[in-house]
């Protein structure tokens, strides 16, 4: 069955008890046992909950994987993957990635004995060059945050296979509608379901999808033992969101294509970053491994911080906020928001300039969005 159909039906059969068409919110912590150890498959909601279970089945289906696990946040899902490693293990990670993943590696797992080398995502060969004897995991994110670079998943998976290392891909920016890393050779897919999958900026959640039963069992054990699980209500909201993922992603992409074309020609714009622009250096790989280019883009204004502040103050529809993937358009300033803790030199070295702006385009009318940008640019 096709993606759109699976999103609505997989894991979401009518309730066997009542016939309810929508999976109920099983707002319960515990479950009756008929006799000691005799129950209907659920004992305690940290271990398992029917609403969460429906979500986990649906998530696995969307990624075309065998097993899904839902977590309380994207960061909790990421931590679950790192928990597969042990003291002394080494990770190779892309150097353009979500700040919270970097923080988790450097501030939490480093002191537990994991070390990380950051490979230059513009040079795929640097991933292989960074591998050591104790490397157990390659971690990538594509498209990357915030610069929207594309990493060739198949190429990296060839490296990971050759060295017998796990490859994990954070697929948050593309969503499973536009990219399915497991089909490209990845072992593990991670999501912040907070973003496109839930899609309405109203919950925080995460997910991991895998094919290998042993990895699944280890992650499932960790999920119950460490306990960062989503509640039934949040699981239900993610389920409600993912039913419309396909139509939302098409709309996000249409708006992103339209606006990046407009901005590319604007005299006050110094550069546009979007994998869907045929003139960009990431286009060929994006076209090969993705079914679309998603709704995230970046651009640089001509001028410095003052120009950025002025521009933001004039916007009416684009909301200045962190996060992404919701139905409403959000705009953010990495140098002063998500990457503020990074030393300026380091930030500039990575290409995050003082006039770089990141956009998560929503599904509003594209002409209204263009007018908003046009109006704000006109005063600069
Ligand atoms: C937001 C985000 C995360 C973290 O997810 P939370 O749900 O905020 O914990 C991880 N990776 C990427 C790419 C993200 O955008």
Same domain, 258 and 223: no
Instruction: Give me the pLDDT at residue 338, please.
Output: 87
**CATH number of the domain that 367 lies in?**
3.90.1150.10
**CATH number of the domain that 187 lies in?**
3.40.640.10
Q: 118 catalytic, yes or no?
A: no
Which H or E element spans position 53?
helix 50-62
- Closest residue CA from atom 6 of ligand 1: 74
Q: Which residues, at least 6 apart from 296, have a Cβ–Cβ distance to it below 8 Å? A: 143, 148, 173, 256, 274, 324, 358, 359, 360, 361
Same domain, 89 and 213: yes
How sure is the predictor about 18, in pLDDT bands with cuts at 50, 70 and 90? Answer: very high
Same domain, 36 and 127: yes
pTM comes to: 0.97
Instruction: Give me the pLDDT at residue 298, please.
Output: 98
3-state secondary structure of 240: helix
* pLDDT tens-digit map of 149-170: 999 999 999 999 999 999 999 9
Q: Is the N-terminal amide bond of 143 cis, ω within 30° of 0?
A: yes
Same domain, 158 and 300: no
Same domain, 150 and 7: yes
Given 184, 214, 243, the domain boundary residue is: 243
Compute the distance from residue 212 Cα to the ligand 1 centre, in Å. 24
35 DSSP β-pair partners: 38
Mean pLDDT value across residues 200-214: 98
Percent of the chain with pLDDT over 70: 100
Given 243, 258, 286, the domain boundary residue is: 243
What are the DSSP calls for 170-222, one per residue? E-TTTHHHH--GGGGT-SEEEEETTTTTT-SS----EEEEES-HHHHHHHHHH
How many folded domains does the chain comprise?
2
How sure is the predictor about 350, in pLDDT bands with cuts at 50, 70 and 90? Answer: confident
- The beta-strand segments (E) located in 307-355 are 319-320, 330-332
How sure is the predictor about 343, in pLDDT bands with cuts at 50, 70 and 90? Answer: confident
* pLDDT tens-digit map of 214-238: 999 999 999 999 999 999 999 999 9
Token digits of residue 103:
């923080």
Same domain, 215 and 99: yes
Same domain, 232 and 290: no
Domain, as residue range, for 271: 245-377
Mean pLDDT value across residues 32-36: 96
Token digits of residue 45:
């909601």
Compute the distance from residue 1 Cα to the ligand 1 centre, in Å. 29
Distance in angstroms (rounded) separating the CA atoms of residues 272 and 297 = 7
Residues 56, 239: contact at Cβ < 8 Å? Answer: no
Distance in angstroms (rounded) separating the CA atoms of residues 323 and 360 = 8
Is the minimum distance from the CB of 99 to ligand 1 under 6 angstroms?
no
Given 191, 222, 243, the domain boundary residue is: 243
Residues 279, 292: contact at Cβ < 8 Å? Answer: no
Same domain, 313 and 238: no
């Amino acid at each position: 069955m096709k993606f759109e159909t699976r999103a609505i039906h997989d894991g979401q059969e009518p309730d066997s008890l009542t016939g309810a068409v929508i999976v109920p919110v099983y707002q319960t912590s515990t479950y009756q046992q008929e006799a000691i150890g005799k129950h209907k498959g659920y004992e305690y909601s940290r271990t398992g909950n029917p609403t969460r279970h429906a979500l986990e089945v649906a998530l696995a289906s969307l990624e075309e994987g065998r097993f899904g696990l839902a977590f309380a946040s994207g960061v909790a899902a990421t931590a679950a993957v790192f928990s597969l490693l042990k003291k002394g293990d080494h990770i190779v990670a892309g150097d353009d990635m979500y700040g919270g993943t970097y923080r988790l590696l450097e501030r939490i797992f480093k002191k537990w004995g994991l070390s990380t080398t950051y490979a230059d995502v513009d040079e795929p060969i640097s991933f292989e060059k960074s591998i050591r004897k104790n490397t157990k995991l390659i971690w990538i994110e594509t498209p990357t945050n915030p610069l929207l670079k594309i990493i060739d998943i198949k190429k990296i998976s060839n490296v990971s296979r050759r060295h017998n290392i796990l490859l994990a891909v954070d697929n948050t920016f593309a969503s499973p509608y536009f990219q399915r890393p497991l089909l490209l050779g990845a072992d593990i897919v991670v999501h912040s379901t907070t973003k496109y999958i839930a899609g309405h900026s109203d919950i925080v959640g995460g997910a991991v999808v895998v094919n290998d039963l042993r990895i699944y069992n280890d992650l499932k054990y960790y999920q119950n033992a460490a306990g960062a699980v989503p509640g039934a209500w949040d699981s239900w909201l993610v389920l409600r969101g993912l039913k419309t993922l396909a139509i939302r992603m098409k709309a996000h992409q249409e708006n992103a294509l339209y606006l990046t074309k407009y901005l590319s020609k604007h005299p006050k714009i110094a550069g546009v970053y979007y994998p869907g622009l045929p003139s960009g250096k990431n286009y060929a790989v994006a076209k090969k491994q993705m079914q679309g280019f998603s709704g995230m883009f970046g651009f640089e204004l001509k001028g410095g911080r003052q120009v950025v502040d002025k521009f933001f103050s004039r916007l009416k529809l684009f909301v200045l906020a962190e996060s992404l993937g919701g139905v409403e358009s959000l705009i953010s300033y990495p140098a002063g928001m998500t990457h503020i803790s990074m030393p300026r030199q380091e930030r500039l070295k990575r290409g995050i300039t003082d006039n770089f702006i990141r956009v998560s385009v929503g599904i509003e009318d594209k002409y209204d969005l263009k007018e908003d940008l046009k109006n704000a640019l006109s005063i600069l």
